Amino acid sequence: MIKRIINFATAALIFMLAFSSTSLAALQPGGPSTNGNTNINSTLSYTDVVKILEDIERTSKGKVEVSTLDQYGKSEQGRSIYVAKLGTGPQKIWIQAQIHGNEKLVTEAALQLLKTYANSGEKDVERVLEEATLYFIPMYNPDGAEMNIRHTKLAESGKLIDLNRDWTLTGFEAVESKVVYAYWADVKPDFAIDLHHQGLKQVYGTNESTSFSLGISLAPDGPTLPGTGYNKITKQMMAYVYDELKDYGYTHIDRYQVGVNREKGIGYDIDIRGGVVSAMMMGLNYNNLNPEGHSHPAVFFETKGNTSDGSLGQKSNGYLTKQNYLALKSLVYGYVTGEVENVNENEWYKIPYYPLAGYLTDYAGTIPVNTDLGY
Ligand SMILES: [Zn+2]
């Protein structure tokens, strides 16, 4: 009798082990990725970001105010877009990250900087908070972030929209654009920084992989920027950041360009008028929400790799986040103190770049570099 019970128990145990190991295998498909995609478990989800923002607000002793933009609307899938505000000064600085949902580390960098401003007693931090009020939007595109894709998806048609091509005179397609634009028109910032990731490229004339690119979305000295009044200051800003960061370890910085061809030794600058930071510089007035045509300088940073093409590795995430953090922190400081205005604008041309073949636009195709720009 006892032996039969043991046998039964053994059989049951074997059955359970067999069953549970199969079901565990079915439930846990994780482990090393086999399809070349980056493991994104180490990056922040929307829920993580909301929780971190609430933690920062709670421990900031009243310095940080976290809110949603719900009064203007929510994302296509109904998520709130969050903003964190801090500082008491008159200069308004806008910092936005992850307008492209598969560009993850920039959110981490923005939150780290917010945390520093919230908790640090450093002199340069205090200076910034006295001179400026900062508006952080750490996850501009929560739906894209959750789907791990660049775009947002329209709720009704399912159409994919690149939110960084959606600030156009003809109106916005995605609700996220309407929400953030309406908020921007209310805030009327003095300066904005936009954070991105890019694919792999190499610094011109070297075999070094670019870790960080400095970008102005309306090409300096190109078809559009000189007409905005921000042609000089944006070049000064980028030259300032380059000078501050070029000696930081493992950093290989260049100018943001597209259509780079190493054999021909050419690259293109972008001149996209429907980009968010471009529209900010052009003073977009949509639905008469910005009747005075308020505008301001704006630049963007590009960090190496994204989570869709598998070019991000957890090993490098730390330093990629750190270079973004440092670039942001130094540019904000340089802006509020006026140091940026002391930079020679021609230093912009000392940042490595591929010889310019032309401008890639969203309004006239590709414009060759030798075209008469009429000024
Ligand atoms: Zn991007």
| pLDDT value for 169 | 83
Q: How far is the CA of 14 from the centre of ligand 1 (A)?
A: 52
Bridge partners for 84 per DSSP:
66, 136
Q: How far is the CA of 295 from the centre of ligand 1 (A)?
A: 22
The SS3 call for residue 355 is coil
- Picking from 85-99, 124-138, 304-318, which range would have the lowest pLDDT averaged per residue? 304-318
How does the average pLDDT of the chain come out, rounded? 88
Q: How far apart are CA 246 and CA 248, in angstroms?
A: 6
Pick the closest to residue 103 from 199, 247, 1 (CA basis). 199
Could you tell me if 125 and 64 are in contact, meaning their C-beta atoms sit under 8 angstroms apart? Answer: no
Residue 40 has pLDDT above 60, yes or no: no
* Structure confidence at residue 320 as a pLDDT band (50, 70, 90): confident
Q: How far is the CA of 66 from the centre of ligand 1 (A)?
A: 24
Q: How far is the CA of 27 from the centre of ligand 1 (A)?
A: 33
Could you tell me if 244 and 253 are in contact, meaning their C-beta atoms sit under 8 angstroms apart? Answer: no
Question: pLDDT > 70: what percent of the chain?
Answer: 86
Q: How far is the CA of 237 from the centre of ligand 1 (A)?
A: 20
Q: How far is the CA of 98 from the centre of ligand 1 (A)?
A: 7
| pLDDT value for 3 | 47
φ, ψ of residue 113 in degrees (nearest 5): -70, -40
Indicate the angle between helix axes 105-119 and 46-59, nearest 10 degrees: 10
Q: How far is the CA of 353 from the centre of ligand 1 (A)?
A: 19
Q: How far is the CA of 164 from the centre of ligand 1 (A)?
A: 8
Helices (H), the chain: 2-27, 46-59, 105-119, 123-131, 142-147, 175-187, 231-245, 276-282, 314-337
Q: How far is the CA of 307 from the centre of ligand 1 (A)?
A: 12
Q: How far apart are CA 328 and CA 144, in angstroms?
A: 23
Q: How far is the CA of 39 from the centre of ligand 1 (A)?
A: 19
Q: How far is the CA of 99 from the centre of ligand 1 (A)?
A: 7
Q: How far is the CA of 297 from the centre of ligand 1 (A)?
A: 19
pTM for this one?
0.87
| pLDDT value for 41 | 56
| pLDDT value for 19 | 37
Q: How far is the CA of 6 from the centre of ligand 1 (A)?
A: 63
Q: How far is the CA of 117 from the centre of ligand 1 (A)?
A: 25
Fold exhibited by the domain 58-368? Aminopeptidase (3.40.630)
| pLDDT value for 155 | 97
Q: How far is the CA of 311 from the centre of ligand 1 (A)?
A: 14
Q: How far is the CA of 150 from the centre of ligand 1 (A)?
A: 7
| Domain segments of the chain as ranges | 58-368
Q: How far is the CA of 174 from the centre of ligand 1 (A)?
A: 16
Q: How far apart are CA 143 and CA 113, in angstroms?
A: 23
